[in-house]
Every structure is written in C-alpha cells, then in structure tokens.
C-alpha cells in the first residue's frame, strides 16, 4: 500500500474550500478526473456510511473515521458497491485493501487555506489517483477562489 499526499494553497477561507469539496454540484466537478459522473452520498456521521460512486452507481463504500468541519475529514474505505447497491466488504480482494484511509486537512493561513490530502492506494492505482488529485485540486482552487 502506498500513501500519496498532495497540497495546494487556496486564496479562500476554510469554510468556502470545505463547501467546494463536499457540496453536490462542485464535488462532481472536481472529481471528474477520477471518473465522470462521480458522486458522494454520505450520512455525515462518524462510523456511518459514505458511498463514492460513478454515474452507474458503482464504487466504494466507506465510513467517516474522523470529522471536524471545516478542519478535517478522514474516510476509511471498507469495500465496493455494485450498481444494484450490493456491498462487498469481505471478499479476499477487498480484504487486501479494506481499512485504507483518505484524509482531507484544511489549515487556515490568515484567510487563505492550505488543503492537504493523503490517500492510501495499491501501487497499480497510483497514476490514476495522482491524475485525479493533481487536476482535481486545481479545480477546487479555481472554484473556491472565484465564488
């Protein structure tokens, strides 16, 4: 498992950056580089359910491990979900990576925000994740600074 990290300075306050990250309309914009039509559905509860899915409804089932809006959120990925909504959290393939984290840490820099992200991934996904975050965080910056 690899831990990848990314940082970007955004000329906008914490709450504005947080809103761009997690509001439905803007989430789809910045995550398009991971897959078009990406959506996040969450109950926003620590220990609850969060789904990161594509346009067909397939993707990952996760939980929120830690939440302190607008300062940080840490997701723990548990498994996969298919387009019928069936979750796989127990298969051998899933157990190899289940429990990996995805972290978003927002730090106030006197009105600007440093957005630091970390994600644990298997080596074969590294290029895809790098592309998604490098391009996606530029979109977060652009959206937060223009609103």
* pLDDT > 70: percent of the chain: 99
Look at residue 135 in the predicted model and tell me its pLDDT.
96
Domains: count for the chain: 1
55: CATH: 3.30.530.20
Alpha carbon distance 29, 136 (integer Å) = 8
Burial class (CB in 10 A: 0-12, 13-18, 19+), 145: middle
* pLDDT of 15 strictly over 70: yes
Ramachandran area for residue 44 (φ above 0: left; ψ -120 to 50: alpha; else beta):
left
Alpha carbon distance 98, 137 (integer Å) = 25
DSSP string, 96-141: TTTT-EEEEEEEEETTEEEEEEEEEE-GGGHHHHHHHHHHHHHHHH
- Tell me what the pLDDT averaged over the chain comes to: 95
Secondary structure (H, E, C), 14-61: HHHHHHHHHCHHHHHHHCCCCCCCCEEEECCCECCCEEEECCCCCEEE
For 55, list phi and psi in degrees, rounded to 5: -60, -25
SS3 assignment, position 144: helix
* pLDDT of 35 strictly over 90: no
Alpha carbon distance 57, 30 (integer Å) = 18
Lowest mean pLDDT among 35-39, 57-61, 80-84, 136-140: 35-39
Q: What is the mean pLDDT of residues 103-112?
A: 97
141: domain range? 2-146
Look at residue 147 in the predicted model and tell me its pLDDT.
62
Look at residue 63 in the predicted model and tell me its pLDDT.
98
**pTM, entire model:** 0.93
């Amino acid at each position: 498992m690899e831990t990848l990290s990314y940082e970007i300075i955004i000329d906008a306050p914490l709450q504005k950056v947080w809103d761009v990250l997690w509001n439905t309309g803007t989430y789809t914009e910045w995550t398009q580089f991971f897959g078009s039509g990406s959506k996040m559905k969450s109950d926003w509860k620590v220990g609850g359910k969060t789904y990161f899915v594509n346009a067909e409804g397939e993707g990952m089932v996760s939980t929120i491990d830690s939440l302190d809006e607008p300062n940080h959120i840490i997701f723990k990925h548990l498994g996969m979900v298919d387009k019928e909504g069936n979750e796989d959290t127990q298969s051998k393939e899933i157990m190899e990576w289940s429990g990996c984290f995805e972290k978003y840490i927002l730090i106030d820099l006197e009105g600007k925000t440093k957005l630091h992200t970390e994600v644990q991934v298997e080596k074969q996904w590294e290029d895809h994740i790098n592309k998604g975050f490098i391009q996606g965080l530029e979109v977060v910056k652009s959206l937060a600074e223009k609103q």
